[in-house]
Amino acid sequence: MLLTRQDMPTIPVEARQIFREGKWTDRTSGLCLGFTNAAIAIMPRDQAFDFLLFCQRNPKPCPLLEVLDPGDPIVSDLAPGADIRTDVARYRVMVKGEVVDEPSDLTQHWRDDLVTFLMGCSGTFEAALEGAGIVPRWRQGEETGSGIYLTNIPTTPAGIFHGPLVVTMRPIPNHQVSRAVQVSSRFPGHHGAPIHIGDPAALGIDDMSKSEWAVGPKLLPGEVPVFWACGVTLQTLVRESKPDLMITHYPSRMFITDIPAEEQAVM
Amino acid sequence: MLLTRQDMPTIPVEARQIFREGKWTDRTSGLCLGFTNAAIAIMPRDQAFDFLLFCQRNPKPCPLLEVLDPGDPIVSDLAPGADIRTDVARYRVMVKGEVVDEPSDLTQHWRDDLVTFLMGCSGTFEAALEGAGIVPRWRQGEETGSGIYLTNIPTTPAGIFHGPLVVTMRPIPNHQVSRAVQVSSRFPGHHGAPIHIGDPAALGIDDMSKSEWAVGPKLLPGEVPVFWACGVTLQTLVRESKPDLMITHYPSRMFITDIPAEEQAVM
């Protein structure tokens, strides 16, 4: 029997137990509020050097929080004892850039040469913005969340990995733009400061009412579009680079860690 | 003919030309003031995944600024066009943890599978402290620079790499300790905030008048010992881990980049 959002526990270790039992495969936003969420990428050891190098060169879209040893599925720092094969609500398995499976359990796909990367996520970051009084309209009743857009900005390639940057867009009232920069700068492990403020066309975004992933809220008078690097960059990276095998979380099903979000802030 | 310190150019590309010509093999501290300095580590591709993972897990002692592609000796971001084989004043070549050569040119040691890592350095960081009014006594006439000490704190191992953390110690007047934390926090790529403030014994440092590398200034009344992670950790790492081949800069002969130090600050 699947659980409802109201039934879900607020403690990460308990929520992960529910995921492990296959009782929750839905979006994780809003679950265990206040705890650091992480994106995951799992791949064979022989691709892992290139990917580690890619993350080093592109810390804005791919901010590394933890990397497990080859073959080790047990998380150490972010959620001691959690099993990355079972403790995410749903996964996406891609072979040569094509989706081949979207299971709720990775046990059958696991291999002794797989390396797991855990990366920051804007979940952490949005809570901090809200704490600073920058409350998105979707939390005030509007339907639309952040926009997610493909840009014409290339990431810095590394080995087999290359592809364009994907960004999120949040409309921020003029007088709060500085504050949004300050607050997000405190979270370099969760995409950090905006990469661009003000002009979608400069990023190659010609029409913000169109998106492959999510169309953002319309800009109101007195709002500026503010763009942050986005973890969805990983999906375009896989599509363009076609690595032999790449496993990620299913979009919007994040790994929920034991670390309070504020512990991730640098100042 | 070797040059004197007064003859040295203040522009990085010109200083690197002098190093390339073998006309300067001395300490680089004080040269090209205001530009970012970097430590270097060069190793075969088959050790490079472990080392990249080590740096990811230990960003305080080993903060990565740039990693070159396997076989590529030409720096891209930090000093476009610089040749890492010739543009450092002096190198140290270690085979299985033992020093086998300390040349001023790496051309004879270069191989197509070598990967170059450039890491932050407290040179950047000390200039910023000084700018904030925290002027070390060695700049006020005293002989002794920062102390460098071995600790009993293990780094987080990765693959073949393991070993204890090495720290620098600066005596800071009580009323400036907060400011020292604030200023150094702005430079996460150059060791960042202190790892410990106040008690050498808690780090396993029993006698600050003894050090394998550098004994720091004596503490004066009203000063607190403040400890930062140190790039010399790399030397103990190599000694303990005994990788097949590791090439570093010779101690105190840093790679001088084209990047103004302030550009490296996060806020």
Ordered per-residue pLDDT tens for chain A, 267 residues? 568 888 899 999 999 999 999 999 998 988 998 899 999 999 999 999 999 999 999 999 999 999 999 999 999 999 999 999 999 999 999 999 999 999 999 999 999 999 999 999 987 878 788 889 998 776 666 666 789 999 999 999 999 999 999 999 999 999 999 999 999 999 999 999 999 999 999 999 999 999 999 898 889 999 999 999 999 999 999 999 999 999 999 988 999 999 999 898 887
- Burial call A14-25: b when 16+ CB within 10 Å, e when fewer: ebbebbbeeebb
| Phi, psi dihedrals of residue B139, rounded to the nearest 5° | -90, -10
What pLDDT score does A141 carry?
64
Task: To the nearest 10°, report the CA torsion of B72, B74, B78, B80.
Answer: -140
Tokens of A26: 């839905």
**Residue of B45, B49, B188 lying closest to A52 (CB–CB):** B49
pLDDT of residue A146: 85
B139 has pLDDT over 80: no
CB-neighbour burial class of residue B159 (10 A; exposed 0-12, middle 13-18, buried 19+): middle
Which of these, A80, A258, A189, lies nearest to B59 by C-alpha position? A189
Looking at residue B201, the DSSP 8-state letter turns out to be: G
Nearest to A121 by CA among A255, A13, A212: A255
CA distance linking residue A71 with residue A85, whole number of Å: 11
In this predicted structure, what is the pLDDT of residue A3?
81
The predicted structure's pLDDT at residue B146:
85
What is the per-residue pLDDT for A2? 67
Residues of A in contact with B53 (CB under 8 A): 52, 67
B217 DSSP assignment: P
Residue A173 Cα distances to A190, A198, A217, angstroms: 22, 12, 13
Distance from CA of B112 to the nearest CA of A (A): 15
**Residue B86: predicted pLDDT:** 98
pTM equals 0.90
All residues of chain A having their beta carbon less than 8 Å from the beta carbon of residue B67 are: 53, 56-57
Chain A positions contacting chain B at CB under 8 Å are 45, 48-49, 52-53, 55-57, 64, 67, 69, 158-159, 182, 185, 188, 266-267
Report helix, strand or coil for B16: helix
| CB pair distance less than 8 Å for B48 and A48 | no
Per-residue pLDDT, B124:
82
Taking contacts as CB-CB distances below 8 angstroms, the residues of chain B near A52 are: 49, 52-53, 56
The answer to whether the CB atoms of A266 and B67 lie below 8 A apart is no
Which segment of A188-202, B120-134, B153-167 scores lowest on mean pLDDT? Answer: B120-134
pLDDT above 70: residue B47: yes
Average pLDDT over residues B149-165: 98
Model pLDDT, residue A143: 60
- pLDDT for position B34: 85
What pLDDT, on a 0 to 100 scale, did the predictor assign at position A182? 92
For range B23-50, the mean pLDDT = 93
Mean pLDDT of B203-218: 92
A217-256 burial: b if 16+ Cβ within 10 Å, else e: beeeeebbbbbbbbbbbbbbbbeebebebbbbbbbebbbb
pLDDT of residue B246: 98
Cα distance from B100 to chain A (closest Cα, Å)?
28
B-chain residue closest to A118, CA distance? B56
Can you read off the two tokens belonging to residue B31?
């040269």
Task: Write out chain A in H/E/C secondary structure.
Answer: CCCCHHHCCCCHHHHHHHHHCCCCCCCCCCCCCCEEEEEEEEEEHHHHHHHHHHHHHCCCCCCEEEECCCCCCECCCCCCCCECCCCCCCEEEEECCEEEECCCCCHHHCCCCEEEEEECCHHHHHHHHHHCCCCCHHHHCCCCCCEEEEEEEECCCECCECCEEEEEEEEEEHHHHHHHHHHHHCCHHHCCCCCEECCHHHHCCCCCCCCCCECCCCCCCCEEEEEEECCCHHHHHHHHHCCCEEEEECCCCCEEEEEEHHHHCCC
- Backbone phi, psi, residue B180, to 5°: -65, -35
Closest CA to B257 of B92, B91, B42, B31: B31
Closest in B52, B57, B188 to A53, CB measured: B52
Picking from A49, A185, A266, the nearest residue to B48 by CB comes out as A49
Average pLDDT of the segment spanning B231-235: 95
What is the separation of C-alpha B7 from the centre of its chain, rounded to a whole number of angstroms?
24
**What's the rounded mean pLDDT across residues B78-98?**
97
Using the beta-carbon criterion (under 8 Å), do B57 and A64 form an inter-chain contact? no
Report whether pLDDT(B5) > 90.
no
Per-residue pLDDT at A153: 97
The residues that bridge with A83 in the sheet, in sequence order, are: A74
Higher pLDDT, B146 or B194: B194
Chain A residues inside the 8 Å CB shell of B50: none
Q: For residue B221, is pLDDT > 60?
A: yes
The span from the CA of B210 to the CA of B207, in Å, is 6
**What does the alpha-carbon distance between residue B42 and residue B13 come to, in Å, rounded to a whole number?**
21
Question: Distance from A53 to chain B by nearest Cα, in Å?
Answer: 7
Arithmetic mean of pLDDT, B184-204: 94
End-to-end Cα separation, chain A, in angstroms: 43
Residue in A closest to B118 by C-alpha: A56
